[in-house]
A and B are shown apart, each in its own frame.
Chain A
Amino acid sequence: MYHCNRILTKMKKIALLLLLLVSMMNVACDKPVSNGDTEIHISYTVNGHDLITDSLCYTNAAGNQFLINEIQWFISNVTLIGEQGDEYALGKIFYIDTNIPESQVLSTASVPCQRYTSMRFTFGLDREDNVTGLFANPPERDMFWPEPLGGGYHYMKLNGKYLDEDGNLAPMNIHLGIGQNEDLTTFYQNYFTVELPLELDLKQDCVNAIQLNMNIDNWFQNPHIYDCQTYGSAIMQNQEAQQLLKENGHDVFSISSIDHNMEKIVSTLKDLMHKAAPKPHFYTKKNMESLFADFFNHNNKE
């Protein structure tokens, strides 16, 4: 009898232990995936180089020499897409302005730490969001698109100048938004969706940075050549120009994830070299290489 009791007690202990193990395993399985913070760094390239504003040093596909004063634009519905097709919203609407350095880094929502294979966003504002009165305050308010022309807001104001046939610096304004027919009775939504492949292994406890680059050259080409001489500077009431730019917009953007270790190295190098950039800009892998080359040349000389 005593022996039986001992066996029963032992069995109870084993059962308890098993129960504990199973429950621990369950806890482990239910443990939520941790989230990581993300940032999107905006950059601009023209003619293969980082944008320098107010400088007449660029030529587009139509042969127009041009300069850019400022770019003010919206992206919206920014979404990361995981390997399994699972989607995570990074943010609803972002206003980006080359005159406002802090607007060039978009602080986005925390999303699960995992691998992501693409990012999707709307260039401009979609039909639901693009409503007059959405923004009460500047600078977003000053993007308003007049009600009779469709209302809401400019998707983008790219303001600059080009050298016209007479050698004058004529205004060049790529203002995109809702288009209209001539008698303002029919309206056209000119926003478009961009989805780009991405290799991002999102990690916890660090800021995961994505670089979104606007290649300005491509607004002027592929599939259509956009000639400033033809379209002039006022295109808000020119749906033909709006449509053409919308179709050119498909390959204007590119993205890449930014290597955090490389970031640290480059920032250290930048400090060492006391490089004073004339305008705030974000480095790409391409100019990181040249930065390294500069650094080593500099050290070899010393």
Chain B
Amino acid sequence: MKARIVVVLLFGLLLAGCRPTHDDSYQPTPYELPQPLFFPSTNNIPDDNPMTEEGVALGEMLFFGTNLSPLTSHPSPCCASCHHKEHSFEMGPEGTLENLGTTHTMLPLINLAWNTTGLGWESQVATLEDMVYAAYTDPLEINADTSEVVRQLKQSDTYPELFRKAFDTDKITFILVEKAIAQYVRSLVFANSKFDRYLRGEEQLEQDELNGYMLFITENGADCFHCHGGGANALFTTYLRYNNGLDAAIQGEFKAPTLRNIALTAPYMHDGRFTTLDEVIDFYSEGVQYSEHISPLMHHVMQGGVQLTPQEKQQLKAFLNTLTDTSLRGTK
């Protein structure tokens, strides 16, 4: 009897020895976030989710739903169903409130590693990790059951190994899904537009584009820079919220979106009411509506806007078009 027990124990030990051992020396490869000219030196990478090459790669696969079957009957089985690369990770012209069924349009998912003031039009979500959770569970977005997501990932042929590489664990949780996708979104750095190349002394702007830039950064011009940056703020947003006089009935404030890739991100404004950049420029020129709630930085509200001439409007648009970065992944 004793001999049998010993044999069973030995066999058990042998089996345990055959299981892959946890390698204490394994470390995912740190991901080097680019630091473009005039971008902030501080970012929103949390201490408990440092970026790694493996984490970003996993996040990219999850973002695009690679090797995953649709999670729900909802037509948005993954992030990329609505966030399209070619539209700065917005939906594009189809992204109207009517089509989305949401109260706000999308915001671009670029250069968000440097957004330290909350996410969403009302800065209502604290972190990118929280944003992933919100997108997965919102009935109007992916509308997924997070435990179902985790179950599918565990059963996958590819994902367990990718999680192991990214987070050095065999245990897949939805928190790790949030972390991986957040890492991928932080890696979406766009800083190689014509204007960036101009700042770096690599390419000259056309005269109309230069004139447009002058309008952009002067109070007596188009007066854009207090909220949308430029010059020493190359993110082209402060990431703060303002009431821009879009509608006298609006009492609240909305985040100033980045103007990088603005030519790719129609429809415009939080409610998508403008379909072209020309309409947006017309609004700031002569369509600003007075209310007591308007930001004091809308200096020209009492004149209805900044009153640009047709030529100035065309120059401003020419400048805004220089902020387009057509590299799909950004600088990385």
- Which residues of A are interface residues toward B (Cβ below 8 A)? 69, 132-133, 135-138, 141-142, 144, 146-149, 159-161, 164, 168-173, 175, 232-237
Contacts and interface: CB of A to CB of B under 8 A. Distances in A.
25 contacts: A133-B38, A133-B232, A136-B40, A136-B41, A137-B40, A137-B41, A138-B239, A141-B40, A141-B233, A142-B229, A142-B238, A142-B240, A144-B225, A144-B232, A146-B225, A159-B297, A168-B290, A169-B292, A171-B298, A171-B302, A173-B296, A173-B297, A233-B299, A233-B300, A234-B299
B218 interface: yes
B220 to A, nearest CB: 5
B116 interface: yes
Nearest to A153: B232
A173 B302 contact: no
Given A135-B232, A142-B238, A175-B219, 20 more contacts: A136-B40, A136-B41, A136-B42, A137-B42, A138-B116, A138-B239, A142-B229, A142-B240, A144-B225, A146-B218, A146-B225, A148-B218, A149-B217, A168-B302, A171-B295, A171-B299, A171-B301, A173-B299, A232-B299, A236-B219
B54 interface: no
B232 A233 contact: no
A135 to B, nearest CB: 8
Interface string B15-51: 0000000000000000000000011111000000000
B92 interface: no
B255 to A, nearest CB: 14
A49 to B, nearest CB: 21
B297 A171 contact: yes
Given A137-B40, A160-B296, A237 B116 contact: no
B244 to A, nearest CB: 12
Interface of B: 38-42, 116, 214, 217-220, 223, 225, 229-233, 238-240, 290, 292, 294-302
B302 A234 contact: no
Nearest to B238: A142
A130 to B, nearest CB: 12
Contacts of A170: 301-302
Contacts of A149: 217-218
Given A137-B41, A234-B219, A237-B218, A144 B233 contact: yes
A142 B233 contact: yes
